[in-house]
Amino acid sequence: MSDISAHSLPVRVYYEDTDLAGIVYYANYLKFIERGRSEWVRALGVDQTALKAGQGIVFAVRRVEADYLRPAKFGDDLTVTTRLREMGGARIVVEQEVLRAGERLFQAVVTLVCLSDDGHAARIPAEVRARLSPPVH
């Protein structure tokens, strides 16, 4: 994922992120990419708290396809990248990576669904769609 439109988030590996071998525990990559997605939508001007309060809309993870390629270790400085892959009526698919000095350690494709207060799929609001969509050249 070497797209210039990708959002980047720096993450440092702390002791609490590691297992007994000193490498990042596999489930913590999911936490890293969650932070990456949250900061991506924030950087694009989407206020998820206001969206929930005003329209009763939230985004939930429906599917994660993850590949663990190389271990990250205590003290590593990582970068989480997030890029929109596709958007449907009620779903968003993003590609995410965790990098160390440009080396890909982890990659995932995450499918999110837009949900209403009652837990049913809801159309992504037009203003959110406009903010998440890359500009057409």
Looking at residue 57, which CATH number applies to its domain? 3.10.129.10
> pLDDT per residue over 100-131, tens digit each?
999 999 999 999 999 999 999 999 999 999 99
Is the residue at 54 inside a domain? yes
Query: Could you tell me the residue range of the domain that residue 64 belongs to?
Result: 7-132
Q: State how far the Cα of 48 lies from the Cα of 51, in Å rounded to an integer.
A: 5
Is the residue at 22 inside a domain? yes
Is the residue at 90 inside a domain? yes
Q: Which of 3, 17, 19, 76 is catalytic?
A: 19
Residue 2's pLDDT band (cuts 50, 70, 90): very low
The answer to whether residues 97 and 32 touch, using CB atoms and an 8 Å cutoff, is no
> Based on the structure, what is the number of domains in the chain?
1
Is the residue at 137 inside a domain? no
Is the residue at 2 inside a domain? no
pTM of this prediction exceeds 0.75: yes
Between the alpha carbon of residue 64 and those of residues 73, 77, 123, 131, the distances in Å are: 23, 24, 21, 23
- 19 belongs to the catalytic site: yes
> pLDDT per residue over 9-23, tens digit each?
999 999 999 999 999
Is the residue at 1 inside a domain? no
Beta strand 77-87 pairing with 58-68: unpaired
